Structure 1
């Protein structure tokens, strides 16, 4: 698991995952149903991206969001769109 504590850390993690999968930014944008500019901004750590689109990109990369340490949070996580 990768700890994410900033928009820059999230962008770097998603960029690394995309490259590991051999995808271009355009490939990822198409798979996630978002614009290429969104992927560029997300990977650059832009702090004003839309959460719904971020979750679509994470899902397109085969990832999932998991929150740890939150009081009252459900123990089980679900994949976006599932």
Structure 2
């Protein structure tokens, strides 16, 4: 089901909810996505300056993707 994400906090909440639904810990997700645990922590906390490339890796590891509408 699509999730509306329009703020860094909303993205963090969506990522955290997906991780928990999959039964993954932050270290497990970090390993699966090829990023550091600190990055996952910061993403889930809604840090506004996270790197897009790493965000996409985490979303892919969670089975998600980015869809841009209305352009």
Give the TM bin, normalised by the shorter chain.
Answer: over 0.9
Counterpart position of 1:27: 28
Structure of greater relative contact order (alpha carbons < 8 Å, 6+ residues apart)? 2
Question: Which structure has more helix as a fraction of its residues?
Answer: 2
| 1:1-82 matches, cutoff 5 A | 1-70=2-71
Runs of at least 4 residues off by over 6 Å: none
CA RMSD of aligned residues (A): 0.4
TM-score normalised by structure 2 residue count:
0.97
- The normalised TM-score by structure 1 is 0.84
Q: CA deviation at 1:67?
A: 0.5
* SS class of match (1:22): coil
State the structure with more CA Rg. Answer: 1
Segments of structure 2 that go 5 or more residues without pairing to the other structure are none
Alignment coverage as a number of residue pairs: 70
